[in-house]
Chain A
Amino acid sequence: MLYTVMPVEQVMSSPEWQTQDVSYSEARIKGKTVLVGYRQGSSPWVERVISTDPFDYLDERWQPGTVVAAHGLF
């Protein structure tokens, strides 16, 4: 249930150019399971880390939006 000042239709709308070709896949990077997002023409990014160690969530390499290749994770 959303509790926001933004109109729900605006929150939920998704322009076609933003959603096309976006794909997500789980990858094993540096021993961590990471959900990686990818859009054609851009570098893959960390969508989220999947870990039971809380300190992984403080590690800057696994912050959502981190560009995977730029951080030398591949």
Chain B
Amino acid sequence: MAESGDMHPEAEAIKELGANPVGGSRDIHCLTIIGQVEGHMILPPQNKTTKYEHVLPQLVAVEQDPNIKGLLLLLNTVGGDVEAGLAIAEIIASMSKPTVSVVLGGGHSIGVPIAVSADYSFIAATATMTVHPIRLSGVVVGVPQSLEYLDKMQDRVVNFVVQNSRVKYDRFRELMFRMGELARDAGTILVGKDAVKEGLIDEVGGLKDAISKLRAIIRSRDKPSVNGHKILPPAPSSPAERRFSRRRKGG
């Protein structure tokens, strides 16, 4: 460990623990979803984690901060806790501010719903997304209810992805249970444009594309004002309508 006090505080924070300053006066808030999405258990320290108890209130603050016009999500995650991941995905999907996600490196497992939760999604040409079944580990009670529980958990993920992207329910389950592609598991690895072809992600692109798209969405929502009063865009009347409009992203 380096001795503290010799380095600039921000530099030390980055060097020692990978912490990166956020906030500031910029109008785009950048949120990184990295490593394991940590849920109800603190994971052992060799894991790089994204802590949901920190991300959720941060998103609440982003939603309320008048200086923040849009949210840019950078994903490089191997997955993690189902409920924590879905919680993050749901709160992003329900935000009123423009959101754009970029999958860099990997957006696997529970990273898939988080990636599709944004208004518009990008994937780097070399990035991958692994779609595979949820597993139960440890002692499992050998009753039919265990299987039903597992299926229900899986359906929560599948339904969210289907409602927030262009992929069809049957197709997503087909990708999830495909045999022969992964060495130790069922499932599919989607590389860059494959994820776009399957309808999970909107476009292959990187940072420049993501920021341009985010700025475009911000501009499109900045309606002209009449007599100093801003004309607010009509809010979707129901969650179903909102999700339908989300599925026609980019339009």
List A residues at the B interface (Cβ < 8 Å): 1-6, 8, 11-15, 18-19, 22, 41-43, 45, 48-49, 51, 54-60, 63-67, 69-72
Of all chain A residues, which has the CB nearest B18?
A65
Q: Say whether A3 contacts B80, CB under 8 Å.
A: yes
Q: Say whether A57 contacts B58, CB under 8 Å.
A: yes
Residues of B within 8 A of A65 (CB): 13, 16-19
| A29 → chain B closest CB, angstroms | 14
If A2-B79, A2-B137, A5-B108 touch, whether A43 touches B45 (CB-CB below 8 Å) is no
Which listed residue (A4, A13, A22, A66) contacts B109, Cβ 8 A? A4
Residues of A within 8 A of B209 (CB): none
Residues of A within 8 A of B153 (CB): 1
Cα A6 to Cα B81 with chains together (Å): 12
If A1-B83, A4-B108, A57-B54 touch, whether A13 touches B4 (CB-CB below 8 Å) is no
Q: Say whether B134 contacts A70, CB under 8 Å.
A: no
Cα A58 to Cα B64 with chains together (Å): 11
Q: Is the interface on chain B under 10, 10 to 19, 20 to 34, or 35 or more residues?
A: 35 or more
A/B interface sample: 29 pairs, CB < 8 A: A2-B81, A2-B135, A3-B79, A4-B80, A5-B78, A5-B185, A6-B78, A14-B46, A19-B44, A43-B12, A45-B17, A48-B51, A48-B53, A54-B60, A54-B64, A55-B61, A56-B57, A58-B29, A58-B65, A64-B51, A64-B54, A65-B13, A65-B16, A65-B17, A65-B19, A67-B16, A69-B5, A70-B9, A70-B13
| A45 → chain B closest CB, angstroms | 6
Of all chain A residues, which has the CB nearest B112?
A3
| A19 → chain B closest CB, angstroms | 7
| A26 → chain B closest CB, angstroms | 14
| B184 → chain A closest CB, angstroms | 8
Q: Say whether B13 contacts A66, CB under 8 Å.
A: yes
Residues of A within 8 A of B85 (CB): 3
Of all chain B residues, which has the CB nearest A13?
B44
**B132 interface residue per 8 A CB criterion:** yes
Of all chain B residues, which has the CB nearest A39?
B1
Residues of A within 8 A of B29 (CB): 58
Residues of A within 8 A of B19 (CB): 45, 63-66
Cα A5 to Cα B175 with chains together (Å): 15
Cα A70 to Cα B7 with chains together (Å): 8
Q: Say whether A45 contacts B16, CB under 8 Å.
A: yes
